[in-house]
Structure 1
Amino acid sequence: MQHGTTLIATIALAFAVALLFGVLAARLRLPPIVGYLLAGIAIGVASPSLAAEGGVAAQASEMGVVLLMFGVGLHFSLRDLMAVRAIVVPGALLQIAITGTAGTMLGRWWGLSVGGAIVLGLSVAVASTVVVLKGLEARDRLDSPEGRVAVGWLVVEDLSMVLVLVLLPAVAVPLGGTPVDGQALTAGGLARSIALAIGNVIAFLLLMFVAGRRVVPWLLAHVARLGSRELFTLTVLAIALGVGTIASQLFGMSFALGAFVAGAVVSESELSHRAAADALPLQDAFAVLFFVSVGLLFDPHVLVDHLGKVLAVLGVVMLMKFVASFAVLRLLGESGRLAVTIAGSLAQIGEFSFILMALGASLGLLDRDTHALVVGAALLSITVNQPLQGWLQRMLARYAPGIPESFTEADAFDFSAITDHVILVGYGRVGTTVTEALDRAGVSHIVVEEQPRVVAGIRLRGEHAISGDATRADVLRRAGVTGARLIVVTAPEPIRARRIVEVARELNPRIAVAVRTHSASEQAFFEQVLPSPGVHGRAVYAEREVALSLAHYTLTVVGRSDDEADALIDAMRGRRTMPTETFSAMRTREFRAAMGISPGQSETGGGPDG
């Protein structure tokens, strides 16, 4: 009973202090993650006994990692993983090799054994899944090209570390450690361990993607028909935690990686979106505990006693890993923007680093001081990672024209002579819908997309597209911006969207603009800077448009005519806080006119509820 009380008290204390420091961080315009880390440090300083028993918080925090990976799997199908395998498999392995070698050399310079230095090198080579995914979610980039590559990259890293965790005890003795259970492993035993580890991974994946793809969707559908929300939520949690447990206990894989595979299997079900909605609240709450537990492990005295070594490890993590990841991605032919974004997100270390260091210490390869150095570097790297990402995005928006798009492809397509057409920037879910509307209306258009593979697919369908970064003037010129009637910007990053609009208006002051926004403040910004006499433009706040669409449908269902509903919704669109009517009050019919769609034509072909 005492243990249960300790667990509840620890979680309650962690949530309360994390809330306090999270609010403080938000008030200071810092990422909430920084507040959660500081909360862990504060708890550790105020209660050393609790810090010494950090395993309680660590076990609770693992729940957050598991649910987070399950949620990622829900949005990342096997097809997505296979689509990026040519990038993530060689890319992740090369990055681990380069960064791991740098960390190993640093460890040998400090006098560590060969085994200890290798463990140090591998610990600084793998990124924190939680930090990367939280960063992508914060920027709404999880379902973007770089989001898919980043998730695939993390999966390869996790699989690699699973193999390392299996093999490390086997090779600990020849590398300077202590025998496992008093026995040194022979060469034959090592070979069997390697074969067993690889066989377990293959067996688990076959089990999940052959049997699991049939059983799991059937189970979800069966429970959903019962009409109980509680039972459905319980089923989702049982699948996530159950598959994770099977992966960990029976196949020797990581708990989180098993949950990711479970999510990927559930994504094949038509109920995947409902499953994601049920898992999200628990996922966010328990993920907070991960960051608190990192802060709890941190010993502030390390910064005083070994500041130079902590900064050296931090340099390998943030500088060497960034350079290695960027170089590998560029050599694999990826765009400069994608390479910078992914390399920046990987410039930190987290959960697998702690697991590796703990295993290395238990095998006699590392001492407590080295473990403390890595924890200190991890905390600092996680703290500065999100601010670093924001800074990188601002630098890209400002200096992107100086970054060449690719070492392997020079897009020779040039549509600069075309006139009276629409330019569509981005070909994600929003972009494809707008493209469909333009196709149905017979409006000439050109897609500008960063990913060469996506562009190739568009061209195979007989449509015009160019590969490039739309913040660059030369790319927009090739898209015919000087003669275009409208540019539609669907890029989710606010800074990048601003830069695209700015460059487009510099090249063609008369071009109409439609831009996607994700907040009322961003919409207000565009409403202030875009209007000009005789030029159409509109900033679409996604959530507001969804609400207005639902309101329109509701009005028609309760008996209002389409004309009455249109008038009411138009009035709501026009009722803004701005002193005078600007382009934000522009009616839907004016926007349709700018796109060349006649009043009788449908943009999407859907019904009133589509």
Structure 2
Amino acid sequence: MHHSFPLVETIVGGLFFAFILGYIAHKLRMPPLVGYLFAGIIVGPYTKGFTADMHLSQQLAELGVILLMFGVGLHFSIRDLLAVKRVAIPGALIQIALATLLGWLLAWLAGWSSGAGIVFGLALSCASTVVLIAALQRWHLGDSTQGRIATGWLIVEDIAMVFVLVMIPALAPVLSGQGSVSSADLFYLLGKTSVQIIAFVVVMLFLGRRLIPWSLQRVVGTGSPELFRLAVIAVALGCAILANYLFGVSFALGAFFAGAIISETSMNHTAEDASSGLREFFTVLFFVSVGMLFDPSIIIREPLLLIATLLVVVIGKSAGAFLIVRVFGYPPQTALTIAVALAQIGEFSFMIASLGSVYKILPPLASDLILGSALISIICNPFLFVWLNRYLEKQNQQATSAAPGVIDSGMMSDKPHAKVAAPIKPVSIYFVDEDMAVAPAVSNHTVLVGAGPVGQEIIRHLQAQNETVYVQENRLDVVTELRARQIPVAYGHALSDGMLDAVFVSEARNLIITIQNKTEIVSIIKAALALNPQLQIVTFSRYEQDKQLFIQAGATKVVDSQIVLAQEIMQAFEQA
């Protein structure tokens, strides 16, 4: 007897092909998300072989959007959102209007109705939350001026699209040319939606700001990490659901505000760690679900219209965003970053296309063009960021030759923490008068991987001995604090391409590893020795089997943390 398990099959099939193709993409030096999208095409309904459940995949993708926006909120406080309102609010609204106009012109040239053109243009005007945030995280721009503007821009688009999704069904008779709608009904819907959004923001700012931290503090008091992880996920998903069901706003917006509230507490980093694994899991499923929507035959059936639609998204929308940001007085580097980040469309485009089809506003071809341009623009977006970073790196090199040492970051902020490098290859950076300076090549120095409490103490001792120390760290707040102290830091994962080169491991005398993931420690030891066989490597562990593992990998010395702790306790006892 055959049993069907569509949820299990969809998750397993999607993740299996995503892993295979993501790994191949990585080996080809392409972003893994390109592999995830192609995995979606393979398991989608338009190709032969295994077919995942389309309906279930869309729901799983929505969980990815919720958790990703929650993660964004954890790094983006309410104060940060208000700080960029001057450019984000008018900029996003003007860009939506411009993209809608370009979409309408393309629809008019294709012979569609004006209503179809408006809906088609709106579908091309809104960027994908997941793609934009993933790009900001990949290039370490989340805490930069560009990152805060892009995220604020995205939030404004989210709110605008809530209005659009409410208004399309109400205006369907007019947009489809089959009837009319009274002005009273139109103003009633606009007023109702505005009140719902304002009510949601007020509730989150006044009630959520008290209730969410209070609830998490009670869970922290239990001393159970498992309960805390569960509480964080429950808060993210619960706020998203309540925002949608009670106030009619998007899941993503509800999750974002939940994260933003937690970001203002001392639990933000712990909450980030608790939700990161699940967030990455569902983000992969989001990209797989996007790939499933793509019908490859559109490339053959309507190549010219598809190219024209893609140009509206990648060129027209981005050019508009670039000009808007420049008009508001931001430098070209900031404007280019915003333009590239918005050069794609995603989940709201799919919702608008679906409504347009259900209410017979859009012709069937329009949905295929929207989905096709979404997939292609998402695939192209990482390569646009690669081009952007090469261009900015070239500009920085020219600026360095004109004024040695200091790089103009192109970021308009009076806070050092906003100035984070996003080069095409990792480099060690520190701050000089709130500008970024690339640390020079060095030799016979000490490299520190991990700057937690143990690492900070090691830095203090090394500086007291006038030892040159370069740090590798992947926590943005720690990186910012060290760079402000003019300590050169390479930001990212230690095993990322070029990261060990960024701290000049090949020329170093010592390598100290203070992270606690034993698998990563072994890999770092082997990678470092491959670059510098004479390197003295010191790390620590409390377990004998781990100590032997590190020694076998090539560590020079493995400190027993339990013995050190016991010695400290005895010294304190003797002094007392």
CA drift at 1:230: 2.4
Of residues 476, 490, 496, the one that matches 1:516 is 490
Instruction: Encode CA deviations 1:181-229: one digit per residue, 9 max, x unaligned.
Output: xxx5321011010000010000000001101111110000001111222
1:106 match: 106
Of residues 374, 379, 385, the one that matches 2:375 is 379
Q: Quick one: structure 1 residues 524 and 71, their matched pair in 2 at CA, closer, same or farther if it must change by over 3 Å?
A: closer
1:23 match: 23
1:289 match: 285
8 Å contact 1:200–1:252 — kept in the other structure? yes
Letter in 1 for 2:203: L
1:578 match: 532
Letter in 1 for 2:342: L
Instruction: Encode CA deviations 1:9-37: one digit per residue, 9 max, x unaligned.
Output: 21121111111111111121111111011
CA drift at 1:578: 2.9
2:321 match: 325
Q: Quick one: structure 1 residues 57 and 452, their matched pair in 2 at CA, closer, same or farther if it must change by over 3 Å?
A: closer
CA drift at 1:268: 2.7
Letter in 2 for 1:454: D
Letter in 2 for 1:112: W
Instruction: Encode CA deviations 1:28-80: one digit per residue, 9 max, x unaligned.
Output: 111111101100111124458946x5121111111111110111111111011
8 Å contact 1:449–1:465 — kept in the other structure? no
1:454 match: 414
Letter in 1 for 2:24: L
Deviates more, 1:26-35 or 1:194-203: 26-35
Instruction: Encode CA deviations 1:370-395: one digit per residue, 9 max, x unaligned.
Output: 10111111111101110110111102
In 1: Cα distance, 2:318 partner to 2:470 partner: 29
CA drift at 1:579: 6.4
In 1: Cα distance, 2:171 partner to 2:510 partner: 58
CA drift at 1:136: 1.3
2:97 match: 97
Q: Quick one: structure 1 residues 456 and 48, their matched pair in 2 at CA, closer, same or farther if it must change by over 3 Å?
A: closer
Q: Quick one: structure 1 residues 397 and 172, their matched pair in 2 at CA, closer, same or farther if it must change by over 3 Å?
A: same
1:211 has 2:211 as partner: no
1:337 match: 333
CA drift at 1:301: 0.8
1:499 match: none
1:132 has 2:92 as partner: no
In 1: Cα distance, 2:410 partner to 2:513 partner: 27
Instruction: Encode CA deviations 1:262-282: one digit per residue, 9 max, x unaligned.
Output: 111222332222111111111
1:42 match: 42
8 Å contact 1:516–1:539 — kept in the other structure? no
Instruction: Encode CA deviations 1:288-339: one digit per residue, 9 max, x unaligned.
Output: 1111111111111111111111111001111111211111111111121111
1:364 match: 360
In 2: Cα distance, 1:457 partner to 1:235 partner: 29
Give secondary structure in 2 for the equivalent of 1:516: strand
8 Å contact 1:177–1:364 — kept in the other structure? no
For the aligned residue pairs, the C-alpha RMSD in angstroms reads: 3.8
Give secondary structure in 2 for the equivalent of 1:127: coil
Q: Quick one: structure 1 residues 527 and 270, their matched pair in 2 at CA, closer, same or farther if it must change by over 3 Å?
A: closer
In 2: Cα distance, 1:223 partner to 1:513 partner: 37
Deviates more, 1:86-95 or 1:63-72: 86-95
In 1: Cα distance, 2:532 partner to 2:166 partner: 63
- 5 Å-filtered alignment, 1:374-523, equals 374-399=370-395, 450-454=410-414, 514=488, 516=490, 518=492, 519=494, 522=498
Identity %: 38
Q: Quick one: structure 1 residues 527 and 223, their matched pair in 2 at CA, closer, same or farther if it must change by over 3 Å?
A: closer
8 Å contact 1:92–1:153 — kept in the other structure? yes
8 Å contact 1:515–1:539 — kept in the other structure? no
Q: Quick one: structure 1 residues 539 and 344, their matched pair in 2 at CA, closer, same or farther if it must change by over 3 Å?
A: farther
8 Å contact 2:10–2:56 — kept in the other structure? yes
CA drift at 1:528: 6.4
8 Å contact 1:523–1:539 — kept in the other structure? no
Q: TM-score, normalised by structure 2?
A: 0.74
How many pairs align? Answer: 474
Unpaired runs of 5+ in structure 2?
419-430, 439-467, 475-485, 519-525, 539-567, 569-576
Instruction: Encode CA deviations 1:417-454: one digit per residue, 9 max, x unaligned.
Output: xxxxx9776xxxxxxxxxxxxxxxxxxxxxx6643341
Letter in 2 for 1:191: F
1:152 has 2:112 as partner: no
CA drift at 1:457: 12
Q: Quick one: structure 1 residues 229 and 193, their matched pair in 2 at CA, closer, same or farther if it must change by over 3 Å?
A: same
Q: Quick one: structure 1 residues 240 and 523, their matched pair in 2 at CA, closer, same or farther if it must change by over 3 Å?
A: closer
Give secondary structure in 2 for the equivalent of 1:174: helix
In 1: Cα distance, 2:514 partner to 2:144 partner: 21
8 Å contact 1:299–1:372 — kept in the other structure? yes
In 2: Cα distance, 1:165 partner to 1:400 partner: 43
1:313 has 2:298 as partner: no
Of residues 220, 238, 244, the one that matches 2:234 is 238
In 2: Cα distance, 1:539 partner to 1:522 partner: 19
In 1: Cα distance, 2:257 partner to 2:352 partner: 22
Of residues 292, 299, 306, the one that matches 1:303 is 299
Q: Quick one: structure 1 residues 152 and 489, their matched pair in 2 at CA, closer, same or farther if it must change by over 3 Å?
A: farther
Q: Quick one: structure 1 residues 187 and 450, their matched pair in 2 at CA, closer, same or farther if it must change by over 3 Å?
A: same
Deviates more, 1:224-233 or 1:33-42: 224-233
CA drift at 1:365: 0.5
Q: Quick one: structure 1 residues 423 and 28, their matched pair in 2 at CA, closer, same or farther if it must change by over 3 Å?
A: closer
Q: Quick one: structure 1 residues 539 and 153, their matched pair in 2 at CA, closer, same or farther if it must change by over 3 Å?
A: farther
In 2: Cα distance, 1:231 partner to 1:515 partner: 34
1:199 has 2:195 as partner: yes
8 Å contact 2:144–2:417 — kept in the other structure? no
Give secondary structure in 1 for the equivalent of 2:209: helix
In 1: Cα distance, 2:361 partner to 2:129 partner: 25
Q: Quick one: structure 1 residues 490 and 173, their matched pair in 2 at CA, closer, same or farther if it must change by over 3 Å?
A: farther
1:85 has 2:85 as partner: yes
In 1: Cα distance, 2:12 partner to 2:500 partner: 40
Instruction: Encode CA deviations 1:558-586: one digit per residue, 9 max, x unaligned.
Output: xxxxxxxxxxxxxx9x988436789x99x
8 Å contact 2:208–2:261 — kept in the other structure? yes
8 Å contact 2:174–2:181 — kept in the other structure? no
1:56 has 2:30 as partner: no
8 Å contact 1:132–1:346 — kept in the other structure? yes
In 2: Cα distance, 1:3 partner to 1:192 partner: 50
Of residues 348, 353, 359, the one that matches 2:344 is 348
